[in-house]
Structure 1
Amino acid sequence: MKTSAAALLALLMPFAVSAQQPTARDFARWSEVNEVALSPDGKYIAMAVPADNNRETQLQIVPLDGVGKIQTLRFGKMEHVSNLIWTANDVVTLARATNVPLEPRPYSRGQLFSTDTTGKKQQTLFGYFADHDFQSGRRRDEGFAQVLRVLYDEPGKALIEFECWDCGEKPDSVLYKVDTLTGNREQIESIKDASILWVDTHGQARAFLRKNDQDEPLLFYRPTTQSAWMPMPKSLGGWKISMLFFDTDDNTAYAAISDNGEADSFYKLDFKAGTRTLVSSKPGFDVGTVLRAGRNGPPFALISDYSKPSVMYLDPKSEYALLHAGLMKAFPGYLVYFHSFTRDNRKVLFSTGSDHDSGAWYLFDRDNNKMQRVAESRPWLKPEQMATVIPIEFKARDGEPIHGFLTTNHNGPGPMVVLPHGGPHGAADTWGFDPEVQFLASRGYSVLQVNYRGSDDRGENFKRLGYREWGGKMQDDIADGVKWVIDHKGADPGRICAYGASYGGYAAMMQMIRYPELYKCAIGYVGVYDLEIMRKKDMLVESKSGERYLERVLGSDFAKLKEWSPAQNTAKIKVPVFLAAGSIDERVPMNQFNALKRALEGNGAKVETMVADGEGHGFYSVDNRTQLFEHMEAFLKKYIGEGAVKNTN
């Protein structure tokens, strides 16, 4: 996975196209399974399964012996499940979930439920239910609940953290011990203003993070299980902890720590002594995924899928490192992730994934070395038909190192789509399978993804480099990436288009304004196109913390925001444009789409549009996603694909 110029040219190999090319609908379809969880006794798996054109997600409980009946449980249409956790051999907890804009699967709404494997014994653990007629609602939890830890010595019981929604800007974190079989709960403690809470292996709260009035992190801890809360010294927690795992002695812990806003490193902590020892550091990149030894054991490996994929074992000769390395060897070219173990640690549920395969889940029996595939994500897409994702690195014009990915399927320079990610902050492109990227590659386009300054996964300082630079240096980084690929013969400079969603849609239009010489067309999908209007509207509805955030990332220089608003600078957009939007988008309302469309048409620009009824900030209907992909395919073919070549001959 080298990223030198010579290596890039070597990797631009011809793409073997199958006689039956996958259709747009093949790429538009969602994964068959979102989550898989293994029961403690290894007899069942629970799966979150999308259904009815992704308008709901159901819980399926599957007996692994193939004898029993598969149970399918559901909340109903437009309802989803997520966060599947076994709290006993026959009890699953789950969260009621909702579709999140531009995300491939639904996420928890903070309401928790439990069910046994038959579906006959169900409990509401946390949620708000109003009185109905003469029946009183059992739960009135207006807030967000999440399982912090299953108490394995007390079957069926778990520690659950709850934060209410109507308790001010900084609600307390309340920790409960909950019997998931009966729904009974016992309050353990309430921690003032806590936003992130960590517990040790015996379920005692030992550290938490809160933010001050300037939104800077403050860390607190208990040096021993008997200690009172006190500020955590810099020698132990640095400036910020982003993840924390305790060993069985409840004194040794492992954490991802940043001292001054740089990308975090992985440390071994001694809570009582207040000291730490460096375990692993990948300068410029955050830690990544942490794999744990057995059922909630200490960390044994770190997986980085940002930039160049890698696995780092804390002790390469340890039991679980050898197990993981063996499975990696069985799946060459893939990354292997452990998800759950049986209570005796003899069976492991793991998943595989790569740049050309969206992945599958497997059960491995360590006693007899037998492997069983239990679910696949997209079995209709064949890995051999997919393109390779190549990590790249280049220097921006001011010397800042920038990373990204080039997905390619042709030999030498050809047409390319520049695909900026959304967010922009708190998001980043990573190595792996992306059906949208693979769709574009299957149609003959290289795809460039640039993690411009402001992107996630490289530390707070790198993120802050993008603040108040939405239309400035962030756009320069994208353009510098395009020029780098052109210089290294990875793209035809006369056949490049930009496409993005949300902030990515904004960036696609700003590229046309800032760098018109680089592009032949632009596609904006649920994009924001007028920063001045967005900023003024958000000032009226955001919380105090939200307003502080917007002031940091956008500022209040409305002259600059106007200059950086595509809808107010359409005279500079000289290329054909395709705009797509959802009719009920609340995050980026239709007035943004309409403002850009009218302004472009007023300047005589070529504009194609698609508005999907009933869709929000990103399409979930497979029919609408298919139509979007097909419209994009025709548009790109016309301006940088086969149609463009014919028109120039």
Structure 2
Amino acid sequence: MNRWTAAAAAGALFVLSANGAHAQALPVKDFARHAEIYSVTLSPAGDRVALAVPNAEGTETQLQVVDLDGSGKTQVLRFGSQQHVSDVLWSDDTQLVVSRARMQPLKAQPVSYGELMSTDIRGKDQETLFAYVPDSGSVRGRRKDQGFASVVKVLDSEPGKVLVDFTCWQYVCGEEGPSVTYKVDTRTGHREEVERYGEPAGFDFDQSGRARIMTTSDDNDEPVLHYRPGADAQWQPMPKSLAGRSVGTTWFAPDNNTVYAVVSDHGEPGQLYKLDLAAGTRTKLAGRDDVDIAYLMYEGHDGPPFAAVFDAAAPSIQYLDPKSEWAQLHLALLKQFPGEMLTITDASRDGKKVLFSVWSDRNPGAYYVFDRTAVKAQLIAEIEPWIKPAQMASTRPIEFTTRDGKTLFGLVTAKGAGPHPLVVMPHGGPHGPYDRWGYDPDAQFLASRGYAVLQVNFRGSGGRGNDFEEAGYREWGGKMMDDIADGVRWAIDHKLADPQRICSFGASFGGYAALMNPIRYPDLYKCAVGYVGVYDLTVMQEAGDIPDSKSGRRYLSRVLGDDQAVLLANSPARLVDRIKVPVFLIAGKDDRRVPMEQFDAQANAFAAAGTPVETLVVDGEGHGFYKPEHRETMYTRLAAFLDKYIGPDAKQVAGN
């Protein structure tokens, strides 16, 4: 379906055709389905797009290359039976690089596991760039790369060549193994080492491919910054006049000295600066004091940033120069989609074709290519075309002040005016991730069943600088729970929530909070649902993949502390006598991040206390359910549980 027609009126950019909406509510399975595409990228020539597309069963993600000449010609490329791909990029007009990937259910998309492959657009010359390929009989595997590889820069001045960061596996090189960067010819697989540092490091490269900024970590995992003031200079400590604590999201100008970078000096939200490396000076370009820059949008194929986007509060955009060509183009495109956000993600080398995505709280998103010469836009793909925005609930960004004076942001998703029965849905992580305005299938499913959904970005969440994250350290069962409760009371005071019908539901850390908040605030809740949740903090120090490494153990010590009495006092599995509401526990048997020891600790504690609890445990699932049929079962059971305790018949069933 093409939603675009060319504008006939003089001066008009284009006209957006109307979309009809279906009145019938969506069935459970439509919220459980996977996206039809995961990503879209535009070729440098602007004549093709590449899409990462899962098959119908979701067991494989293929690469599809589509010609944009109107022919609809599509080439489907596979990289092995039941293999997934991610991080699709073009190294030249007809050459692509992909990462082999595994599905991450809570991310709802494939995530790279460190193997790189390349192919031409017809799939005739596929090349394994980085991987560990075992020998097969007398045939020796060509690649024996014992580590994780990722493309960090495409070298536009050397068509077909990219820079690849390679990090050795810990069990091979230890946790302090070297960081190595290779220049790789994606057609032949030939590689040459261009940078090496004796410990883990991250690099930022200038236009020539020379590493100019380096970030390492000290013994407390704090960033340490070095730079090369000139391309031929040695590494030296970065002066405070350029950056204090961290540097990220960099873009080098063609002079290989001017850098646009997001900088945080002391742990505050990052600000966008223009740095002069040789002079050691900087100029501020954009930023907010209360939230981080979520991402930047760039001019053309490889131009400087023209806008900074913020999403940890109500979404907003700062244009570096509102009168610039690309800011004006973005504004013109944005006006065609009232109530939605629009992100320019790429452009052709000549700047005449522009790839952009459109999305909102009601719309999972769609990708378009805009032809600036013909003044036409072409719909490439809708992420979930069966979702009709007019049928979805609106998501309202909120802001409130906690009992100790902190300003917090959050979201309320609901259909119509309140008060509604409320589901409190804390996010996972908890340090780094955060909830942002946009389409959320869990929230939309619950809203479709008549519930309001509250999401609070409590202290410790990402999106607001390192200081805000650290404010949640060792407060898992304390101030972070107070923040969630303060958000619930705000929703009650603003007539969004029925105070007699409130339940909690969350995944991972959200599962912990879903049980811990009713322990701390039993007067607020009628039920609780933990999904692949953490329930015993002492178990977390020993089981799962986080304590497998020294850095993981340091992280747990930093965010939880090492006082066993405190950990026990903040573990729901140790506090079942204080859980006075019905509980539903959901887990995947193959979860490595939060293994079954956590579920067992909570379920066994309930059993020992003689407290009945509902459970759903599924074979073959990990940290979040992936198979649509299992997701559908989870949603169905979740709705039935909520209906029983805070739905229309709750007073009769629960006896309150």
TM-score bracket, shorter-length normalisation: over 0.9
After the TM superposition, which residues 183-198 of structure 1 pair with which residues of structure 2 at under 5 Å, given as runs?
Answer: 183-198=189-204
- Provide the identity percentage: 53
SS in 2 for 1:471: coil
Partner of 2:440: 434
Q: TM-score, normalised by structure 1?
A: 0.95
Equivalent-residue separation in structure 1 for 2:598 and 2:344 (angstroms): 43
Letter in 2 for 1:479: A
Task: Assess if the C-alpha contact under 8 Å between 2:573 and 2:601 holds in 1.
Answer: yes
1:153 aligns with one of 143, 151, 157: 157
Given candidates 609, 621, 630, the residue that maps to 1:624 is: 630
Query: Residues of 2 paired with 1:333 and 1:142: CA distance?
Result: 48
Aligned Cα root-mean-square deviation (Å): 1.8
The answer to whether residue 387 in structure 2 is matched with residue 381 in structure 1 is yes
Q: Return the match for 2:93 from 89, 92, 104.
A: 89
Whether 1:525 aligns to 2:498 is no
The SS at the match of 2:35 is coil
Structure 2 partner of 1:347:
353
The answer (yes or no) to whether the contact 2:446–2:453 under 8 Å persists in 1 is yes
Answer yes or no: is 1:578 the counterpart of 2:588: no
> 2: distance between equivalents of 1:536 and 1:579?
21
Counterparts in 2 of 1:236-275, with a 5 A limit? 236-275=242-281
Residue 541 of structure 1: CA displacement? 4.7
Change (3 A) 1:68 1:288: closer
Letter in 1 for 2:95: V
Give 1:143's match in structure 2, choosing from 141, 147, 151: 147
In 1, the alpha carbon distance for the partners of 2:141 and 2:243 equals: 43
The gaps in structure 1 that reach 5 residues or longer are 1-16
Work out the CA distance in 2 between the residues paired with 1:453 and 1:471. 12
2:67 to 52, 63, 67: 63
CA distance in 1, matches of 2:192, 2:72: 35
Of 53-62 and 631-640, more deviation after overlay is shown by: 53-62
Per-residue CA deviations over 1:407-449 (Å, capped at 9, x if unaligned) read 1213121201000001111211111111111111111111000
Kindly state the Cα deviation for residue 305 of structure 1 after the two structures are TM-superposed.
Answer: 1.9
- Residues 539, 547 of structure 1: 8 Å contact kept: no
1:182 aligns with 2:175: no
| Residue aligned with 1:642, SS | coil
Asked whether 1:233 is paired with 2:242, we answer no
Partner of 1:201: 207
Q: Report the CA distance between 1:77 and its aligned residue.
A: 4.5
Q: Tell me which residue corresponds to 2:291.
A: 285
Query: TM-score by structure 2 length?
Result: 0.94
SS class of match (2:481): helix
For the 8 Å contact 1:500–1:523, the answer to whether it is kept is yes
Residue 480 of structure 1 aligns to which amino acid in structure 2?
D
Q: SS where residue 559 of structure 1 aligns?
A: helix
Per-residue deviation, 1:187: 1.5
Shift of 1:462: 0.8
Distance apart, 1:194 and its partner CA: 4.4
Counterpart CA distance in 2 for 1:267 and 1:473 is 34
Aligned with 1:309 (options 312, 315, 323): 315
- Contact 2:537 2:570 survives alignment (8 Å): yes
Q: CA deviation at 1:606?
A: 3.9
Alpha-carbon distance in structure 1 between the residues aligned to 2:69 and 2:288: 43
Corresponding residue SS for 2:329: helix
Equivalent in the alignment of 1:124: 128
Does the 8 A contact of 1:340 with 1:349 survive in 2? yes
Summarize deviations over 1:544-564 as a string: whole Å, max 9, x none.
Answer: 222211110111111111111
Q: Which amino acid aligns with 2:250?
A: L
Shift of 1:490: 1.1
Distance in 1, Cα, partners of 2:52 & 2:581: 43
Equivalent residue for 2:10?
A: none
The partner residue of 1:553 within 554, 559, 571 is 559
Q: Which residue of 2 aligns with 1:11?
A: none
Deviates more, 1:74-83 or 1:139-148: 74-83
- Cα distance change on mapping 1:540 and 1:453 into 2, 3 Å: closer
Q: Write out aligned runs for 1:499-514 (5 A).
A: 499-514=505-520
Please say if 1:74 is aligned against 2:78: yes
Give the superposition deviation at 1:51: 1.7
Superposed counterparts of 1:296-375, under 5 Å: 296-375=302-381
Unaligned regions of 5+ residues in structure 2, if any? 1-20
Q: 1:386 offset after TM fit, Å?
A: 1.0
**1:324-382 Cα distance to aligned partner (Å, 9 max, x none):** 11111111211111222111111011101111101100000011111000010111010
Asked if structure 2 preserves the Cα contact closer than 8 Å seen for 1:221 and 1:230, the reply is yes
Q: Distance in 1 between matches of 2:315 and 2:542?
A: 41
- The whole-number CA distance in structure 2 between the counterparts of 1:488 and 1:547 is 42
CA distance in 2, matches of 1:645, 1:22: 27
1:502/1:525 contact within 8 Å kept? yes
| SS class of match (2:104) | coil
Q: Relative to 1, partners in 2 of residues 1:308 and 1:489: Cα closer, same or farther, differing over 3 Å?
A: same
Question: Secondary structure at the residue paired with 2:66?
Answer: strand
What residue in structure 1 maps to residue 14 of structure 2? Answer: none
Alpha carbons 1:575, 1:606 under 8 Å: kept: no
* 1:73 Cα deviation after fit: 2.0
Q: Which has the higher contact order (CA 8 A, sep 6+)?
A: 1
Residue 397 of structure 1 deviates from its aligned partner by 1.4
* CA distance, structure 2, for counterparts of residue 68 and residue 386 of structure 1: 31
| Pick aligned residue for 1:492 from 478, 498, 501 | 498
Which region of structure 1 is more displaced relative to structure 2, 564-573 or 361-370? Answer: 564-573
Q: Are 2:113 and 1:104 equivalent residues in the alignment?
A: no
Q: CA deviation at 1:539?
A: 11
Q: Tell me the equivalent position of 1:43.
A: 47
